[in-house]
Amino acid sequence: MYDHANSVLLKPGQTARVTWTFGEKSELGFACNVPGHRAAGMVGDITFARP
C-alpha cells in the first residue's frame, strides 16, 4: 500500500479529511492508492484558481 502524508487509506464505511492550501492557481492530480485502482481509472484532476 502507498503510505504518504498526503494520503488517506480508508476501509469501507470510513471517512476522513485531507486539507491542502492552494496558491492563486494550482493544478493537482489525484488517484486511488489501492493497488490496481489507478490503472482501472480511479484518477482525476483538480484545477483551482482564486477569483
Cell numbers for 30, please give them: 489525484
Provide the pLDDT for residue 2: 61
Contact 28, 44 (CB under 8 A): no
Taking only the tens place, the pLDDT of each residue in 3-46 is 677 777 788 999 988 887 777 888 888 888 788 999 999 999 98
Provide the pLDDT for residue 39: 94
What's the domain range around 47?
24-51
Provide the pLDDT for residue 3: 67
Residue 46 in 3-state DSSP?
strand
Nearest to 47 by CA among 19, 24, 15, 31: 24
Contact 36, 43 (CB under 8 A): no
Per the structure, the count of domains in the chain is 1
Question: What pTM did the predictor assign?
Answer: 0.53
Query: Is 45 inside a domain boundary?
Result: yes
Query: Is 14 inside a domain boundary?
Result: no
Adjacent-strand bridge partners of 25: 49
